[in-house]
Amino acid sequence: MMTHLRTGMMMGLVLTLSVLSTACQDPSPDKASLKYSEDLYDGCVQCHGENGEGNQNLGAPAIAGLERWYIKAQLRKFKKSQRGWHLDDMAGKRMQPMALALDTDEKVDLVAAYVASLPRTNPAPTLEGGNPETGKIYFATCVQCHGADARGNLDEFGPPLAGASDWYLLTQLQNFKAGVRGTHADDVTGAKMRPFSMTLANEQAMKDVIAYIATLSE
């Protein structure tokens, strides 16, 4: 009797853990949801482009193919003013009302799913003078969060860097170092990034590490 009871309890525990594990994963969006999210994405086209290729003149990075979890996290930060709150973050300020227009969690999820479904655009390099060999040394401190291949690490909430717009990486490193980003009291993951940006002594060091990241995009 006790053996059967213990067996039943164990099976129930396994089933519960399985359900919880499934619930924590992002479900794959169906075609109808993707069509709806494409319609929602129309509000993003003016800055990020129809294919998510970005627009440097507007400070809008390439976003096509980014990880769905990262897109959702950033949209929620903009909605909560954890990003775009600083006076010097003009691009972030433009992004805030667009994020607020996604007035439900469902809309945030659907737009994130659509953007993640877009093929990566591999933006052309715009920076010059970076030394990838020196950058590889700097990048050693980035590996834990962003991965040795710069493809990101969900466990550390580190987004992918390979394939990103190089000008955008430079801007964000500068923003982190200057306190324009990563200093909001509720931006826990941004606060993790800021001290690493401060290990890069100057713009040349930033260009060097970005030049190395570019080699990982090939």
Taking phi first (over 0 means left), then psi (-120 to 50 degrees means alpha), and beta for anything else, what does residue 163 get?
left
SS3 labels along 164-189: CCHHHHHHHHHHHHHCCCCCCCCCHH
Q: What sign has the CA pseudo-torsion 31, 74, 82, 53?
A: negative
Same domain, 163 and 208: yes
Please give the tally of structural domains in the chain: 2
Say which amino acid occupies 50: E
pLDDT at 38: 78
Same domain, 146 and 104: no
The residues, any chain, with a CB within 8 Å of residue 79's CB and separated by 6 or more, are 96, 99, 100, 102, 108
Instruction: Please tell me the distance from the alpha carbon of residue 199 to that of residue 141, in angstroms, as a whole number.
Output: 9
Same domain, 42 and 66: yes
pLDDT at 97: 94
Determine the average pLDDT of the residues in 183-199: 94
pLDDT at 39: 84
Look at residue 7 and tell me if it is in a domain: no
Q: Which tens digits make up the pLDDT trace of 131-179?
A: 999 999 999 999 999 999 999 999 999 999 999 999 999 999 999 999 9
Q: Show the domain range for 113.
A: 31-117
Q: Which tens digits make up the pLDDT trace of 202-212?
A: 999 999 999 99
Instruction: Please tell me the distance from the alpha carbon of residue 46 to that of residue 61, in angstroms, as a whole number.
Output: 12
Say which amino acid occupies 52: G
Domain end marker among 86, 117, 148:
117
Q: Does the pLDDT at position 13 exceed 60?
A: no
What pTM was computed for the model? 0.81
Q: Which tens digits make up the pLDDT trace of 83-108?
A: 999 999 999 999 999 999 999 999 99
